[in-house]
Amino acid sequence: MPLNKPTRIELVQGTLDMLILRTLQMGPAHGHQIAKHLQRTTDDVLQVEHGSLYPALHRLEKKGWLVAKWELAAKDSKRQLKFYRLTASGRKQLLAEESRWSQMAEAIARVMWPVPEN
């Protein structure tokens, strides 16, 4: 059970948006798929409450980075799901956040593990 894992980390503030955008870069997905993807790819390390995903999705939709559409889950399925898709401005946003994030990570790394000068 994921709940019992002792090593779970709280998501850094503001990174959820970036993770969602990155996930959707691979193609349209519905909320549950995104949740599962995040869980799987981080080996359940990141603690993402499923519930917190949805406000984020709606926020991104409102900003125009995503568009949503109700579609059948599969051709034979009766279940309709709300699929989110990345827009052009969403892609741009992802790039911006990615570079910001890598800059920050680099900066942190330089402080934490300084390379001795010679």
Partner 1 sequence: MTWWKRKNPGDELERELRVHLEMEAEERQQEGLSSTEAQLSARRMFGNLTRVQEEIHEMWTWMWLDHLLRDLRYGWRGLYKSPAFTLTAALSLALGTGAALIVCGVLESAFFNSVTATDADQLKNVEIDGQRFSYPYYKQLSTSAQALADFAAYDQTKLSFSSGDELRSVAADIVSGNFFQVLGVAPVIGRSFSGDELRARSQPRVVVLSHGFWQREFKGDIGVLGRSVKLNRVPFTVIGVLPPSYRSIHGYGITPDVYTPINSLLLGELDRPDNERLQLICRLRADAGIVQLETSLLASAVRWKQQFPTEINRKHVVRLSPLTGLERLRNDGVPMEMALFLGFLILSAALVLLIACGNVGSLLLARGAKRSREFEVRRALGAPRFHLIRQLFIETFLLAVLGSGFGLALYLVASSLIDKMQPSLSLPVEVHLHLDVRILVLTASLTLLATLLVGLTPAIQAGQRYALVSARQVGGELPLRRILIMSQFAFAFVLLVSAGLLLRSLARIAVVDPGFNVKQVLLAEPFLQLREYSPQQSQQYLRAALAETKRLPGVRSVSGATTVPLGLEHSVMSMKVGARIIQRVHTNSVTADYFRTMGIRLIQGRQFQETDREGGRPVAIVNETFARRYLENQALNAKILVPIPGQPPTFVGVEVVGVVADSKYGTLGEDPTPALYWPWTQKYAPLTILIRSDGSQSNQLAVRQALATLDGHVPIKLQLMEERIAGALLPSRIASGLLGAIGTLGLILAAVGIYGVMAYNVSQRVGEIGLRLALGATRVQVLQMILRDALRLAFIGLLIGLGLSLLATRMISGILAAGISAIDPLSLGSVGVLLSMTALFAALLPSWRASRVDPAAALRSE
Interacting residues toward partner 1 by CB under 8 A: 2-3, 30-32, 35, 49-52, 54-55, 58-59, 61-62, 79-82
State which residue, 22 or 59, has the beta carbon closest to partner 1.
59
**Least distance in angstroms from the C-beta of 111 to partner 1:** 34
Nearer to partner 1, 2 or 95 (CB): 2
SS3 6: coil
Cβ at position 39, least distance to partner 1 in Å = 9
Buried b (16+ CB within 10 A) or exposed e, 49-88: eeeebeebbeebbeeebbebeeeeeeeeeeeebebbebbe
